[in-house]
Amino acid sequence: MEATVSNTTKRSNAIPMAIVAAMFFILGFVTWLNGSLMPYLEQVLKLTPFQSSFILFSFYIAVTFTAVPSALVIRKVGYKNGMAIAIAMMMCAALLYIPAAKTQMFALFLFAQFTMGIGQTLLQTAVNPYVVRIGPEESAAVRVSIMGILNKGAGVVAPLVFTALVLSNFTDMAGKDLTQADIDAMANGLVGPYLGLAVFIGIFALGIKFAPLPELEKEGEEEHGSVKEALQHPNLKLGVIALFLYVAVEVIAGDTIGSFALALGVEKYSVMTSYTMACMVAGYILGILLIPRVISQEKALTASAILGVLLTLAISFGSPDSFIISNLLGLSALPDILLMVAILGLANAIMWPAIWPLALSGLGKLTSVGSGLLVMGIAGGAFGPVFLGLAKGTSGTVESQQIAHLVMLPCYLFIIFYAVKGHKLRKKA
């Protein structure tokens, strides 16, 4: 009898889990599309590094403004309807890129990015608890890990699709002074793909509305504690800072690598995010295999941050004329300093799943409040690229681009502190 019940449960959960998996892929696809969009707009709109950083800022800052309202929306309409609304909003955001491309208005691109960020935040708020609660509690970690790999795997695919659909007809454009005809042609190349994306997302949103997704029971309205009370726990307070800094370096490695490649004169700059995401997927899989069987999450976090420090120094002070790594791996001629930005994906991979449990340890009834504060740490993705853009200055030289990556150094140093000591600090009795 028990086996029959188990098999029935698995069958009943199969379709919902497949739909949720598709949503995680869409989340990753839309998020990591920024890595190709940033250098593309930097070239088409002739933006400075600082100006182009606002392409990422406008996307990630949406989390700061909409994380709490998103939770209220989900409580009001439910998880299933919340997912449908979120994806419908992402469809509307995709349509906004079309007039932005036609008019070549930077402000309209930023508005489209912000709108996409709002939809993404709402979907994250709905789908993350859903994947935990849709199946047995004892297998929740496995489901979360699988969804994480799908999310990062989409980051490998998105830049390749963007390059094939938007930039395949434009060659020898890196480092070239574009004519207005070139700019118009490249901008118009954005219209068809984003229209297709909007149609696909819209159909998917409609499908969710009528899909056999079970509605989860709403959690009780019991008192969970206040933000002020939660922040009295040093491991949480420092954990929020660590997560903020982690997301900052993750976005720098994943979304600004294309801009760095453009400055280095790499023709296929728009696919570079795929390299970072491939390294993240590899790191994610290693984390699943090794933690905690071989290494504790604290030691894994420490080792990852130390690797981040070493790579940061190598990127900042290495030679742009060195191609040792690409020669060893049999890749196209990509400078070592560029590939080391991609390898930061390996260093960053396990930081998110390691920081969360360390920050929430010992919180008890304050766990939900602490989780909400940690989600706010995603705003680090808005500020990391801005500080990098400021550090690059206006010279645009390769050397200034390299040295600018030193903004990551204090981020990794703080994460080392948190992994070694900060997470052990507890509220005084």
Closest by Cα among 284, 303, 305, 251 to 415: 305
Selected from 1.10.40.50, 1.20.120.140, 1.25.40.10, 1.20.1250.20, the CATH number assigned to the domain covering 1-212 reads 1.20.1250.20
Q: Kindly report the average pLDDT of the chain as a whole number.
A: 86
Task: Name the residue among 118, 80, 112, 76 with its Cα closest to residue 206.
Answer: 80
Structural contact between residues 25 and 151, judged by C-beta atoms closer than 8 angstroms: yes
Per residue in 281-338, pLDDT tens? 999 888 888 888 888 888 999 999 999 999 999 999 999 999 999 889 887 789 999 9
DSSP assignment string, 340-401: HHHHHHHHHTTHHHHHHHHHHTT-GGGHHHHHHHHHHGGGHHHHHHHHHHHHHTTT--HHHH
Q: How far apart are CA 419 and CA 425, in angstroms?
A: 11
Equal CATH topology for 1-212 and 225-429:
yes
> Residue holding tokens 């903020």?
244
Whether 134 shows a pLDDT value over 70: the answer reads yes
Structure token digits, residue 416: 């080392």
Domain extent listing, the chain:
1-212, 225-429
The angle that helices 272-290 and 234-255 make with each other, rounded to 10 degrees, is 140
Confidence of residue 175 (pLDDT cuts 50, 70, 90): low
Give pLDDT tens digits for 368-411: 778 778 878 888 999 999 999 999 887 678 899 999 999 999 99
Compute the residue count for the chain.
Answer: 429
Residues 6+ apart with CB under 8 A from 307: 346, 347
- Enumerate the H helices of 78-105 as residue ranges: 79-103
Q: Which of 216, 202, 201 is nearest to 80 (CA)?
A: 216
290 burial level (CB within 10 Å; 0-12, 13-18, 19+) = middle
In angstroms, the CA 212 to CA 254 distance is: 35
Six-digit token string for 37? 């969009």
In whole angstroms, what separates CA 117 from the centre of its chain? 11
225-429 is classed CATH 1.20.1250.20: yes
In the structure, how many helices (H) and strands (E) does the chain have? 20, 0
Q: If you average pLDDT over each of 1-15, 93-107, 152-166, 280-294, which comes out highest?
A: 93-107
So what's the pLDDT on residue 225? Answer: 62
